[in-house]
Each structure stands twice: as structure tokens, then as C-alpha cells.
Structure 1
């Protein structure tokens, strides 16, 4: 069933209630949300789009984001949220891979969109609409709401979203999320965290992420509550929004939690209304969690373990579970799971308290990638490889151990070392480079570059200056730590021995 039908029912049920509030205080009622959703669907219908056409969503985090996604679904098209932190090269690759039939954007990104018209075949002003201007929904440039078609008939296994995530190859991978995936994910969030129409959620995680869209925003709207959209992360503003709106729910990555703790001004606001807060995206220390819960008077903290391939939440724990180091929780009811030997060629289960890779299948798990050639690398007999090493205790609780590959998770964002290495290798004074993650209190992991310099006068400041104008990658992929070495330790097969290199450099 088309996910849009679920929301149509809720919008018609309580048209006068506030659905969305932006950071400036402007309110969008459920009736407004319904009209805007219909206008987006009417524009797409007028363009002859629907029936599985891909529509790129290139918007900042504002109230406009939600009716755009819902309108795309209503028209029967496939929404593709675009990472607004990508550089032009990454955007061009992503859109070239997606081949969207239209792009719905914001005047905040007008210059970049003009560049993309030159870079991406098939994308031009005729199929691009700036549906947001100066942070507001542009109703006057869209057809009237009554011109909207009825919600298109879409079956459970048909795609609702193609969401891109960076993979180990360094290129963004398009993950297909079906209407069943999305609907089940929303149900999982509502039931796992007890979301009701009485809830107000401050959405601080980007809406192009599963955590923002399916974690903080859509479940609350589906339940009939209110969401407050923060346009960009600022710890003081987050605390202010919680206080001003009496927020009962929020989601943060550990980096944000540390920011809030390290910003004195956040203590000036009353955040005791928070009944639940979820955290995920990267490992968090027990000290950080305990201090955050105490300082901001949060009723309960819940881990949010999920991936784009899982459409978001797949493992968590309830308020009655005692938190302990590394605890992820139990897999949600929408998945089956196994913990398997990472060294075996086939799926072989390991025993209690033994380390193994978590593999999943079920209602929330993607049927595969937009580029189907990738499927064989990530699925075995219908089980999705998460590349995360966990252990399961006798009570069925899962604990995070480490990544099965070299992926760096910095501030909740995936960074492929090979991509950063390739960029830095273009520097004329870099002879060789190895990139990996090292522990960082704020970011979880810091992108660290070990460099063999061709020029002895090369400095880390020189690397940073060069990166700003030449790398062409998202800012979160910038090396936060640069170390110069004479040579790299190597394995017997002459590969760079990153394990030994990390040990040599220390934390």
C-alpha cells in the first residue's frame, strides 16, 4: 500500500492541529500539510510524472521537506532525498546514477542546482522546481490542491525511496526502500518508543538521513503529534527549541550530545520535558550517556541502531533495560537476525558471547541496491550483511564490537578511506597516503591521514588549505588529524599495514 495513504487519513482527521513548526516559529497545520502535499502531487501529475519516476529532493531541513516527500508518494513517484553536505562531484555522480525525472529544490541551493544542470544529463530548468524560497513553501508556483490526483496505487514491494549512502567503494550507493519497508519502519518507531499524538519531537538530525526522516519526523506525524525542524545543528538552539515547545522526544548522534554538554548556554534552558531521547550513528561512551541524561533531565535514553539498508531502526532497547557498555539492544519485531562467523564462506551461526557479523532480513530490509550489480556483495541467501561485528549474550541482547571493514564513522557520517586517499593523492607534494579512523571524543572517530611527503616542507596546514579548494568532497570527510611518516609498515603482500600504522601513531 502507498505510504501516503496512511498520512492522508491522519491529515484529514485533525486539520487544525499543528503538524510542523520551523525554527522561526512558523506553524504548519495538518490541513496545511495536506494542501501542500496535494500541490506537490498536482505539479508532478501535470508534468506527466508518477508511476515509479524518480524525483530528487534537494532541500535544507525545513518544514517544506515533509509535504514534498509526501506529495511525491501521493503521485506514485519515488522520492530520493539528496545529501545536502555532498560536494558537486558527489552530487553529480549521485544524480547521474539516479537519473531523476525531476528535481525539487530550494533557492538556498540555486547556484549549485545551476551547476548540476550543466553536469547531469537529463536535468535542466524544465524539470526543476524551486519549491522553497527564503525557507518557505512556494504555494503560488504550484497547481491548486484540488488539482491533485488521488493517491496512486502502489503495492508493498514497489519502491518508495532511493536513498544514497556512501559505501566501502567510496561512491554513494542508492538503497531501494519499498513502501513496505517504509511503512514497517514507521510502525517500528511508533511502537518501540511509544510515540503518540501528545508528542512533540525536535528533529535535529538531517532529513536526508533515515534517522531524521524515519526516526524523528514521519513517525510522529503518523501518530498525529508535532515536529519542530531544526535547520542546522546548534546545541544552544536545540535546547531552546526543546524548552520553547515542551518537546517530549528527540534524536541525536553522540557528537551532538557532546556539543550540548560542552556548550554552557544549553544549561539556561529547561529540557526536563524530554521523556525520551534516542542516540545512534556512532559509538557513545557510558560517561557521555549518563552525563547527558542527568544534565538535560531526560526521562529515558534509547539506542538507535540502524542503517540506510535497514530503512533505519533495527535494534534498540526499552526503558526497563539497564544500559551497559556497548549495548545495542534486541532486534525489532520487523526483522529476523543471525550472528555469523565473519571468516566463513557461508552463513555459520556463532554461539552466545562469541563475536560475529550481524545479518538481517525482514520487513524493513531493502530488497537491494539501485545498482543491482552490488547486491551479490551485500546479500547471502536473502540475508543482508551489516558489516558490523556484534556479540549476543544469553538473554538475547546484542553488543556492538566493531566494524567488519575499514569504514570510518565520524559524527554519524560514513567516510570511505579510499575516497579520501584518492583525493589527497592528487596533492603534488604527497608521495603516499593512508587514511583510517582514530578514536575521538566528540566525533566518535576522527578521519586520520598518515602521509609520506614528497616535499619535506609540507605541513598539516598546507594539507588543510589545499583540501578546501581542491578535494571536491563533503566537509565531514576532511582529515581532522594529519600525521607525517617516513614510510608505511607493510604486510607480507606489500599492502599498507594500517593496524600497525595506527599503533605507531597512537590515539
Structure 2
């Protein structure tokens, strides 16, 4: 069933209910949001056919939601583009999905134009609408088509996430995938029409789009879209709207604890905060719970490939290191020896494999990548976990992906960029422990003696191929790299070396 129908049902039953709350302006009711979605659908009806992609390169705001709903109503697939990507990555995404329409904010006009031209879809650009919805830029809501029938296995979303190859991976999420995941989140976190969620995780992430926004809109509740992260502003929005739910990555929790302005706000209305994206220490969780008077802190573990939430914490889940929780109702889980495919014994480390209604069918236009990601029906997450007394614990990644502040950073992408710099002979990138981010992107460099960390940072700042979170926070110069018996760089030994 078309995901749009999930929203339309709530719009019919509570048209005057606030869908998007703006404490500094006017709330957007379900009727208003439905009309905006109809305007987008009317615009798309003349330019697309069912199955076409509609991309949005926008900051977090209510128009992103209207574009997604309008795309679904018109039978299209929605592609939210990570606005933290550099121009090269934006161009890659647009070239990958070949959208019929690209909606962008004015702040991204140059990036969108250059990326669209590079991808051969410059005629698809629609000028941006970050603040107030520009109805004139779209169509007449009265001329919108009836919602196009889409079957469960047809594509609803193509969401890109960086992978081990360094190139963003286009994850296909069907209407069934996204719907099942949102249902699982609603059931797990007891979301109702009485809830108001402050959405601070970006809408190009499953945690922000599926994990808070769609859960709220599909239950008739309200959402507050936080346009740009700031700890004091997050706390102010919670107090101003009496929010009951929010979702944060651990780095955001640390920011809030470090902000006197955030601590001064009354956030006691929060009944629940879910957190995920990177490891959180027990001390951070305890301090955050006390400082912001949150009733429950619950872990949110998931993958874009499973439309988001797959393992969730409960009030009974211990806060010991790595504790994730239990699989949600939309998936089955196994802990497997990745070499043999056999289940491992309780308390033994193994790779987490998943199957279920929320697990993607494939990567976009990448059959070989899809084949590598699956073993029969089972999706191989690449995460090493162990199970104790029914609780899953995160151990490590099978690959070298760095999890920094809720973002996945492919070392190979950063290494390739740094290799372009004059004076660098060799470079290795990896993660090192960081109190706020979980891991900091760290670069070890063999190069000219005249080279400085400031030189490297300036080069990265000017490099169009690196997103902000991909730029190294720590830079070390070494004489040579330790190597394994097969002459590969021994990154484990290298981490120990630079840590000393």
C-alpha cells in the first residue's frame, strides 16, 4: 500500500490537528500539510510517471516532508540527499538515481546546479523553499491526482548511505519496508496521537525521517523539526512545545550536557529519548537522564538497509557497554560466524544477520553489491555482536568504517582525497576513541617534513569531495606504517602507535 495513505488517514480523522509545530511561527495542520503535498503531486503529475525518482537537497524543514508525501501521492520514489555531502557526492547521488525532479533550497543553488549538470539532469531543478512553503513553485492542489496505487514491493525511498567502498550506496526501501519499520517503532516506543516529537536528527537519516517524523505523522501526533543542531535550541524547543519524545545521537547528548543554556530549560515533559548511531557511555546516559529529567532513555540500533530500527532497548536493557536490546517485531535476527554461516553459541561474537519486512530488497542499480550483502534471505549487517540472556551487544565492525557522531565515514574515501595532496607519500585513516563523537576520524601520514597539520586541515577544508564529518579531526605524522605478514597496513598496530 502507498505510504501516502498512512498519512492521508490521519489527515481525514484529524484535519485541524497540528502536524508540524512551530513555536516561533504558525503550526502546520494535517489539512495544511495535505494541501502542500497535493501541490507537489500536481506539479509532479505533469512531469513524472510512477516509479520516477524525486530528489530533495534541502535543510531540515517541513517542505522536505511535503515533497516526500507529494512524491508518494504521485507514485514516485523519494530520495533525500544528505546536505552534508560535498559537491562530488551530491553529483554521484543524482547520477545514481537519475531523478526527474530535484527540489533544493536556495542555500544549495550552486551545489545543486553543478551536481545536476554533472549528472545530466539540470533540467530537473526546482528552486528551493526552505522557510515558508512556496505554493507558486509547485502546482494547484485542486488539480492533484488521486493517490497512485503502489504495491508493497514497489520502491518508496532511495536513501544513500556511505559504505566500505567509499561511494554512497543507494538503499531501496519499498512501501512495505518503510511501513513495517515505522509500525515497529510505534509499537516499540508506544507512540500515540498525544505525542509531540522534537526531530533533531537530519531528515536524510532513517533516525530523523522514519524514526521520529513518520512515526509521529502516521499516528496523528505532532513533530517539531529542528532545522540545524544546537543543544540550547533543542532544549528550548522541547520546553516551548512540551515535547514528549526526541531522538539524539550520543554526540548531541554530550553537547547538551556541556551547554549551560540547554540545562536551564525545562525538559521534564520528555517521557522518552531514543539514542543511536554510535556508542554511548553509561556515564553519559546517566548524566543526561538526570540533567534533562527524561523518563526513559532507550537505545535505537538500525541500518538504512533495514529502513531504520532493528534492535531496540527497553527499560530493562542494561546500560553496560555495547548493550543494544532485542530485535523489533519487523525482523528476525541471527548471530552468525561470517566465515561458515553457522549460528554461534550464546556469549560468542558473530556477525548480526537480519531478515524481515523492513529489510531492503536490494541496493539501487547495484546487483553485485546486493549479492555480497545477502546470504539467501539474510542481510549481513557487517556488525559484530554477541547475545547474552536475549540481549544483543555491539562489539565492532567487520570492516574499518568509522562511526563518528552518528555518521559513517569510509576511510578509503578520506585516504583517496588526502593522497591528492602534494607532500603526502602515504596515508592511512581510521577511528580513534572520542568522548563526544564516539570515534574521531584520524589520519596517519607519511610525507614531507615541512608538512604540518594545519596544511592538511586547510587542504581538506577546500576539498569538494569531503563532507564535513569526513575531515580528519586528528592528524599524526609517522615515519612508516606497521604492516601485516601480507604487507597490508596493520591499522590495529597503527592505532596503538598514534595513541602512545
Alignment partner, residue 296 of structure 1: 292
Match of 1:502 in 2: 495
* Residues 88 and 464 in structure 2, CA contact (< 8 A), matched pair in contact too: no
Are the equivalent residues in 2 in contact too, given 1:389–1:401 (CA < 8 A)? Answer: yes
Q: What are the within-5 Å matches in structure 2 for residues 79-118 of structure 1? A: 79-118=78-117
2:347 to 353, 356, 362: 353
1:468-490 CA distance string (max 9 Å, x none): 11353101000000000001111
The match for 1:5 is 5
* More displaced stretch, 314-323 vs 170-179: 314-323
Q: Gaps (5+ residues) in structure 2?
A: none
In the other structure, the counterpart of 1:483 is 476
Match of 1:72 in 2: 71
Partners of 2:214 and 2:38 in 1: CA distance:
17
1:103-151 CA-partner distances (Å, limit 9, x unpaired):
1222221122222233121x124x2222515x11111222221111111
Matches within 5 A, 1:141-290: 141-290=137-286
- Contact kept? 1:185, 1:313, Cα under 8 Å: yes
TM-score normalised by the chain length of structure 1: 0.97
Q: Is contact 1:57–1:82 with CA below 8 Å preserved after alignment?
A: yes
In the alignment, the residues of structure 2 paired with residue 467 and residue 267 of structure 1 have an alpha-carbon distance, to the nearest angstrom, of 34
The 3-state SS of whatever aligns with 1:132 is coil
Per-residue deviation, residues 147-196 of structure 1 (Å, max 9, x unmatched): 11111111001110110000100000100000000110110111100001
Give the Å deviation of 1:452: 0.5
2:126 and 2:37 mapped to 1: Cα distance?
15
In 2, the alpha carbon distance for the partners of 1:432 and 1:360 equals 38
> How large is the RMSD of aligned CA atoms in angstroms?
1.2
Match status 1:385 vs 2:380: yes
What corresponds to 2:463 in structure 1? 470
* Count of residue pairs brought into register by the alignment: 499
Kindly report which structure 2 residues correspond to 1:56-71, keeping only aligned pairs within 5 A, or say none: 56-71=55-70
> How does the TM-score come out when normalised to structure 2?
0.98
Q: Pick which of 231-240 and 494-503 moved more.
A: 494-503
- Describe the SS at the equivalent of 1:19: strand
Other-structure match for 2:417? 423
Tell me if structure 2 keeps the 8 A contact 1:435–1:448.
Answer: yes
1:130 to 105, 115, 127: 127
Of 421, 438, 442, the residue aligned with 2:436 is: 442
Q: Do 1:22 and 1:230's aligned partners in 2 also have CA atoms closer than 8 Å? A: no
Once residues 296 and 371 of structure 2 are traced to their aligned partners in structure 1, the CA distance between those partners, rounded to angstroms, is 40
